[in-house]
Chains A and B, each alone.
Chain A
């Protein structure tokens, strides 16, 4: 038997199983949403830091400094979320470890500024260098801005940008999360469908069916992809409705990169499924792999500028060796930056890798279906 009938039959069999087994629904749909929910919570951390100000002065310079701190912002949003300016509240929160940092504006600050010797104090419970650095540099920026306003700028800066506007972290991460959703769903769903045949001891029945091995492979990939569409649609809906993600670009190009990534994920999942032949091993490995792809491939453009020492250079080179990285870069070109300089070559790599990984998965499947152990 050849043709689309058996392929569809295998896919429908797996979809029916999916609908009847709640655990598959949990793994396929709920888990990526859980990860996206948690990860998205920390995206604003890169831009906006909560801070307490203990304003012991209350004079005009103190008010102006607080206003400058409040006004500092990037294209993403404000740099500081000022929780309080009440000195008693701020001091008590810092001493009770409710706040890790406090900006102290001392009494007499305004008159000191008027005489040219104002000092503001940053108190830090410095248990994380990233947070300490962020708070200090923001305060430096505010003080520099205020000095420039009151006196005269010492140096100005003229900036030439690659893109006219900085893409926001939310947009940057949303693109990565969408691709993560595609890879996760395709990898895990297809991997589970393949490994389940061994786990449930039904692989022999499949093997004895009067269909070609290619048909079996195609049926598994179709089953995984069909199931993935539901979870990818949900991920996209969450990103658009929940996070205000507004993808730009050509609709066909957007659909193209999503479908290609799904196919690549299905190939990876099928290869893992047949290699492990165990659902638990396949699921755990593929979930960890999807998170790895998200963090490593999804951050290549950030790592590129940081990779001038070890071990970050090795990690960056590793990301350049992963075909998934080029899917993330293509998606970012299409969805976010609109820069198409390397889009064609990146897409070429993604499509070539997808063909190779699907071919490899098919070869593994054909080989495995033809070499069953005695227990099956």
Chain B
């Protein structure tokens, strides 16, 4: 291997990359789109749920129940945000789907309790799907349970205590944004190197590469080097947005390890990118295929929600799907108070790097 030639190839690739707006923006597109859409759609508001709350009773028990609704909260936000207390407006909003739950405390709430019977709340729901309804109904169950525990301990035979490893939950938007930064490491390394290799065929320069004396090792090394630099830029931009807009804060003492692990992952992905680039040679195929596969992996392999939270069948799939341990380990090392030992992951990433670079060299050799 010749360091001058490696550097020359890397410089050439980086120059082409920096001048090609499509290649520059493409690998950042999917992480940033997923960060903004999923972060805002699925996790920006914390745990609060918009409701209408109508209290027809002036009695102290009804007031106490209303207060329980207003005070109920997770360890990051309240569970409810009361949008209106006006019956007509609440009715209009729930019929339009602007509210998915309206709770009405009946006028006889106190009287029924005083008489020893059970009062009945009236609720109206805009039941567009089971997910929305689960969120609305289960919060109300929580309030009833809390109210019962506080005011009717004789009927609350079981209560719940909760212990968490962190003081407060990691907001979902933050978890998702960090996942997209991890995604940027993988997409950036794989896609940039794949396009750099495919460009040799697209721009009809593969012939010059073929005519160069023993080009393989230098070409692979130079492309990997350029791909890693490009991926680092893509990841830095994504991470900066994640930190500024979505509250991602990586503990400083974990940064060196996370960088080392991410470097191993990027190396493996860069090797994969070269192999795919040499195999398909058409960046119109490569770009969408890699973008969609990685975007899909974000959802199915622990980017959107941690692997232990996924259904059994998906967990079984993730045992064999390489992006899964990447999301799992890097998320764990970002957020967990006591993360798992990273040694086996680091060894696996190194072996994957060796394997993909070997495959890349073999594929490229055949093409050249």
Q: Which residues of A are interface residues toward B (Cβ below 8 A)?
A: 22-23, 26-27, 30-31, 34-35, 37-39, 41-42, 44-50, 61, 65, 74-76, 79, 81, 83, 96-100, 113, 116-133, 136-141, 143-144, 146-147, 150-163, 165-169, 171-172, 188, 192, 278-281, 283-284, 287-288, 291-292, 295-296, 299, 301-309, 311-312, 315, 337
Contact = CB atoms under 8 A, between A and B. Distances in A.
A143 B159 contact: yes
B205 interface: no
Contacts of A83: 312
Given A35-B296, A284-B291, A299-B41, A158 B22 contact: no
Contacts of A153: 118, 155
A23 B122 contact: no
Interface in B106-134: 118-134
A26 B131 contact: no
Contacts of A301: 97, 128
A44 B312 CA distance: 10
Given A166-B127, A287-B292, A315-B40, A125 B336 contact: yes
B311 interface: yes
Given A169-B131, A308-B83, A161 B125 contact: yes
Contacts of B280: 23
A50 B306 CA distance: 11
B291 A287 contact: yes
Nearest to B126: A162
Contact of A155 (B65, B133, B165, B171): B65
A138 B142 CA distance: 9
Given A126-B165, A143-B159, A302-B128, 18 more contacts: A27-B289, A42-B314, A46-B134, A129-B171, A136-B74, A140-B138, A147-B145, A147-B155, A155-B65, A157-B120, A162-B126, A163-B127, A167-B128, A279-B284, A284-B26, A284-B291, A288-B291, A305-B98
Given A27-B288, A137-B138, A283-B287, A121 B163 contact: yes
Contact of A167 (B22, B125, B129): B129
B59 interface: no
A304 B311 contact: no
Contacts of A133: 47, 74, 169
Contacts of B152: 154
A47 B46 contact: no
A117 B122 CA distance: 30
B335 interface: yes
Nearest to A172: B129
B145 to A, nearest CB: 4
A183 B153 CA distance: 56
Contacts of B299: 38-39, 41-42
- 9 shortest interchain CB distances as A-B pairs: A38-B296, A23-B285, A129-B169, A137-B138, A305-B100, A151-B155, A46-B131, A127-B335, A154-B148
Contacts of B2: none
10 contacts: A121-B162, A123-B162, A129-B43, A131-B305, A141-B145, A156-B120, A159-B125, A278-B22, A304-B96, A315-B41
B70 interface: no
B65 A283 contact: no
A13 to B, nearest CB: 18
B169 A156 contact: no
B362 interface: no
Contacts of A295: 37-38, 41
B3 to A, nearest CB: 32
Contacts of B282: 23
Given A122-B161, A162-B126, A295-B38, A305 B296 contact: no
B29 A288 contact: yes
B229 interface: no
Contacts of B43: 129-130
Nearest to B77: A129
Given A113-B157, A312-B45, A166 B306 contact: no
